[in-house]
């Protein structure tokens, strides 16, 4: 169960509440986020929740029997909207476009990408400076210096940055230069990293693990939330199946399902989802129709020369066509 506390609950009232739950054999965890204070109760006994809900200091109480609780829509009916700026919001009713290269490669590449995004009204730029690569001999990113350079140029153009963090130790150094921390598929269940991102006051885009279930994704998000950060979005980026015709299998089903299970925004990554440039557009459009709140795309001035993931990266002209179609698809879906 989720118990939302009154802002001015006294120490004595909180103690009493926890004692009462202990008597009922409920284990409690207190959660304080940037927005509210909660007590999560986990137990087996059927209880009349009104007996807890009427205790002084309790604002609200909800029964949530799933393993994930705070990220569930069962208690928070209103969807989470993540505000990056007055005019950049992510969540139900808005459409977020994020695009950029797989890896940040050079100053020139950053400038060209920013010019392309600005010309197309895309306000959030993706790019990796710490790259998880299957081979240790592949390009592994420009690191913090690359991020600083990118940040300076993006800020000047009013563009926000989403980039992957791979280790707890990187968070502090990166925080001043990042607008959204991305947790990659390979770190989707790195619980130490998730705990640490719970303590950061920056939004987090959490990708689904390569063979992660939807339930595991939601529980991973619960780590971040229960450590204090409510500003989370989930990302479907394809899973590994027996199919070998493409890199991953984009699980469009997951988008529809997640929109029902959680109040968090759901973002689609069709670039990794299918991994082949020629199919990125139709898959991206399908994801929007299934309910995605946004799409994150790999784009590059010369995809064939990209340091990583060129085979799934759109050229600028290809991306331009897709941005327009995605916006149209979103309008159409909202009109249904």
Q: List residues near ligand PEP by CB under 6 A.
A: 102, 128, 132, 184-186, 207, 237, 272
Q: Kindly state the smallest distance separating residue 182's Cβ from ligand PEP, in Å.
A: 6
Other CB atoms within a 10 A radius of the CB of residue 168 amount to 14
Spatial contact of 228 and 197, defined as CB atoms under 8 Å apart: no
Count the helix, strand and coil residues of the chain and give each as a percent rounded to the nearest 5: 40, 20, 40
For ligand PEP, give the closer residue by CB, 207 or 277.
207
Q: Kindly state the smallest distance separating residue 47's Cβ from ligand PEP, in Å.
A: 41
Rounded distance between C-alpha atoms, residue 252 and residue 270, angstroms? 10
Rounded distance between C-alpha atoms, residue 72 and residue 261, angstroms? 6
69 binds, among Mn ion, ligand PEP, none (CB under 5 to 8 A by kind): none
Q: Kindly state the smallest distance separating residue 163's Cβ from Mn ion, in Å.
A: 12
For ligand PEP, give the closer residue by CB, 184 or 203.
184
Q: Kindly state the smallest distance separating residue 7's Cβ from ligand PEP, in Å.
A: 38
Positions 90 through 129 that interact with Mn ion (CB under 5 A): 102
Q: Does position 309 bind Mn ion by CB under 5 A?
A: yes
247 binds, among ligand PEP, Mn ion, none (CB under 5 to 8 A by kind): none
Q: Kindly state the smallest distance separating residue 65's Cβ from ligand PEP, in Å.
A: 30
Strands (E), the chain: 2-5, 27-32, 37-42, 58-62, 82-85, 88-90, 96-100, 124-126, 160-164, 180-183, 204-207, 232-236, 266-268, 294-298
123 binds, among ligand PEP, Mn ion, none (CB under 5 to 8 A by kind): none
**Residue 330 has which token pair?**
């979103």
Rounded distance between C-alpha atoms, residue 266 and residue 229, angstroms? 17
Residues 6+ apart with CB under 8 A from 2: 38, 39, 40, 41, 61, 62, 64, 69, 70, 75
Other CB atoms within a 10 A radius of the CB of residue 76 amount to 19
Rounded distance between C-alpha atoms, residue 90 and residue 97, angstroms? 9
For ligand PEP, give the closer residue by CB, 138 or 302.
138
184 binds, among ligand PEP, Mn ion, none (CB under 5 to 8 A by kind): ligand PEP
For ligand PEP, give the closer residue by CB, 261 or 300.
300
**Residue 20 has which token pair?**
């009462």
For ligand PEP, give the closer residue by CB, 51 or 213.
213
Q: Does position 269 bind Mn ion by CB under 5 A?
A: no
Q: Kindly state the smallest distance separating residue 49's Cβ from Mn ion, in Å.
A: 45
Q: Kindly state the smallest distance separating residue 183's Cβ from ligand PEP, in Å.
A: 8
Concatenating the DSSP letter of every residue in 136-174 gives: TTS----HHHHHHHHHHHHHHTT-EEEEE--SHHHHHHH
207 binds, among ligand PEP, Mn ion, none (CB under 5 to 8 A by kind): ligand PEP
Residue 294, Cβ density class (10 Å: 0-12 exposed, 13-18 middle, ≥19 buried): buried
202 binds, among ligand PEP, Mn ion, none (CB under 5 to 8 A by kind): none
**Position with the least CB separation from ligand PEP:** 184
**Residue 53 has which token pair?**
């809900």
For ligand PEP, give the closer residue by CB, 69 or 237.
237
Q: Kindly state the smallest distance separating residue 261's Cβ from ligand PEP, in Å.
A: 20
For ligand PEP, give the closer residue by CB, 58 or 239.
239
185 binds, among Mn ion, ligand PEP, none (CB under 5 to 8 A by kind): ligand PEP
Sites of contact with Mn ion (CB under 5 A): 102, 309
């Amino acid at each position: 169960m989720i118990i939302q506390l009154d802002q001015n609950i006294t120490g004595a009232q909180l103690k009493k509440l926890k004692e009462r739950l202990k008597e009922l054999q409920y284990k409690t965890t207190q959660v304080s986020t940037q927005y509210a204070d909660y007590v999560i109760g986990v137990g087996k006994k059927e209880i009349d929740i009104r007996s807890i809900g009427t205790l002084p200091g309790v604002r609200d109480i909800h029964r949530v029997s799933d393993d994930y609780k705070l990220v569930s829509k069962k208690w928070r009916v209103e969807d989470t909207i993540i505000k990056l700026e007055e005019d950049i919001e992510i969540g139900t009713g808005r459409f977020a476009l994020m695009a950029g290269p797989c890896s940040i490669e050079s100053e020139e590449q950053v400038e060209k990408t920013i010019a392309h995004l600005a010309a197309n009204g895309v306000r959030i730029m993706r790019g990796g400076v710490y790259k998880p690569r299957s081979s240790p001999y592949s390009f592994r990113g420009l690191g913090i210096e690359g991020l600083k350079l990118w940040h300076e140029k993006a800020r000047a153009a009013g563009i926000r940055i989403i980039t992957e963090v791979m280790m707890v130790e990187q968070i502090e150094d990166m925080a001043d230069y990042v607008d959204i921390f991305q947790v990659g598929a390979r770190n989707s269940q790195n619980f130490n990293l998730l705990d640490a991102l719970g303590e950061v006051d920056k939004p987090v885009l959490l990708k689904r693990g390569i063979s992660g279930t939807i339930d595991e994704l939601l529980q991973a998000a619960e780590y971040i939330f229960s450590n204090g950060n409510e500003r989370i979005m989930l990302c479907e980026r394809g899973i590994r199946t027996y199919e070998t015709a493409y890199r991953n299998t984009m699980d469009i089903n997951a988008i529809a399902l997640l929109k029902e299970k959680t109040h968090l925004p759901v973002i689609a990554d069709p670039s990794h989802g299918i991994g082949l440039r020629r199919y990125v557009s139709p898959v991206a459009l399908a994801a929007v129709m299934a309910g995605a709140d946004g799409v994150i795309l790999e784009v590059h001035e010369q995809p064939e020369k990209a340091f990583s993931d060129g085979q799934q990266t759109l050229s600028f002209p290809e991306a331009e066509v897709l941005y327009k179609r995605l916006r149209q698809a979103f309008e159409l879906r909202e009109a249904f």
